[in-house]
Amino acid sequence: MSKPVVLIAEELSPATVEALGPDFEIRHVDGADRAALLPAIADVDAILVRSATKVDAEAIAAATKLKVVARAGVGLDNVDVKAATQAGVMVVNAPTSNIVSAAELAVALLLATARNIAPANAALKAGQWKRSKYTGVELTDKTVGVVGLGRIGLLVAQRLSAFGVKLVAYDPYVQPARAAQLGIRMLSLDELLAEADFITVHLPKTPETVGLIGEEALRKVKPSVRIINAARGGIVDEHALYVAIKEGRVAGAGLDVFTSEPCTDSPLFEFEQVVATPHLGASTDEAQEKAGIAVARSVRLALAGELVPDAVNVKGGSIAEAVRPGISLAENLGRVAGSLTGAALEAIEVEVLGEIADLDVKILELSALKGVFSVLNDAPVSYVNAPVIAGERGVAVSLTTSAESPDWRNLIRVKLTLTDGETVAVAGTVTGPRSLQKITEVDGFDVDVPFSAHLAFLRYADRPGVVGIAGKVLGDAGVNIGGMQVSRDEAGGQALIALTVDSAIPAGVLAEIAAAVGATSARAVDIEL
């Protein structure tokens, strides 16, 4: 059996390949070379990139086997997440790999602007001793405004607190009480602009944040302010910053990112009071190694069909240990339910009962969707595109939970409502020290059937001889029965046979059984366990 193919499109740390291990065929390409990238990506299962490779809709369309795009870093500006999601391709990144490096660089730029380190260094190396020209300012007792108090912004604030600064921040998503515990006073953006002696930006780049520190904002700051942007280019309007520095309304700036990169020629570079670096936020040995290892682990999980905590286009997030056994169960229940349908879907409801209902079980809804559509969709279905398929088909999806589970410690039920008004419901649980999955209910009939690669379900009017007929037809066809269970609502009423068999039941054989016993429905279910 051939190994999954992983394409490394940019230079990554040797630890990345080591973390992938021997289970993959590793290929390399210069991802910045478009003519080389498109044919190279055609038959790969995963691609690992940094920032230079554009994994856009064209590349995703060319990669017919692609299952995962892994960005060894935080940003995803070079990956078309929407196109990947539509194609069922998981997108992962390494969201925490460079946060320390980025925070440290922001602090370095802030200190460099405060003490004129860059121009003083250049002057001295040019043979000039200009102590008075490059007099700087202390940080102690100054007010530092942190715009964006996420993971990196918080790290910057923590590090700067050691300098004896007064910390203020703007972030509409952070509670003031939480910030106060950290010694940070929350302000509106206008208040921060007016008070801060230093402003350091740590926001994601979104339509709302582009140009946030622009002409209007820069008319509200102190003329002694120094502005640091080590987040994303464009959040600070570079032209507006140039004008403000030229007019003496801003004292200096430290920039690691630019609206258009690579940026080697900017009007801002004419100012000695501007310290500029070429997007070095993640450029440390430690950050590159952490990013490579993180995405390598994510690729291993993704290609094994497991959920990935760092997947940006998969709902679910962190998964509690108690919920994990239910992931595969929910998918298998979805496969069974989908196999029992006889009409188009109108709605899918996932019910989670028992102890795990108090936890975040959103991932179980996603797993059930994947299972249902895996048997109803011709194209491959993944954790990524299952919700997309539901939306495209107009299928309503819901998740309900209850801590009450009368018969089982935990129970998952997948209920399908069909467009003809009929419903299909399959429930199951995980039991025992070996986490055995079993079906406990099919359309209201109580059963106790362990999952098998090959199952069959027959509905019929209860009467003698049906079990014998089913057994004989299967035996004549060479299909061995692993287990059989009969459930009925009442004697002489409606009954259900649930079968586990050792091999797939040919369609003709199932039809023969259905005709012989007068079954109202007969369905075979094949599952990859």
Q: Cβ(425)–Cβ(334) under 8 Å?
A: no
Mode of pairing for the β-strands spanning 454-461 and 445-450: unpaired
CB pairs under 8 A, 24+ apart, for 441-446?
441/413, 442/336, 442/340, 442/487, 442/496, 442/498, 443/340, 443/496, 444/489, 445/487, 445/488, 445/489, 445/495, 445/496, 446/487
Query: What phi-psi label fits residue 320: left (phi over 0), alpha (psi between -120 and 50 degrees) or beta?
Result: beta
Side chain identity at 284, as an amino acid letter?
Answer: T
Cα–Cα–Cα angle for 444, 332, 357, rounded to 5 degrees? 70
Contacting residues for 75 by C-beta, under 8 A, at least 6 apart = 51, 93, 205, 232
Amino acid, single-letter form, for residue 102? A
Which amino acids are annotated catalytic? 232, 261, 279
Cα distance between residue 257 and residue 259, in whole Å: 7
DSSP string, 163-228: TTPEEEEE-TTS-HHHHHHTTEEE--HHHHHHH-SEEEE-----TTTTTSBSHHHHTSS-TT-EEE
Side by side, which strands form the sheet with 345-354? 396-402, 345-354, 410-418, 423-431, 436-442, 445-450
Q: Which of 80, 122, 129, 111 is nearest to 200 (CA)?
A: 111
Neighbours of 345 (CB within 10 A): 22
> What contacts 270, CB < 8 A, 6 or more positions away?
none
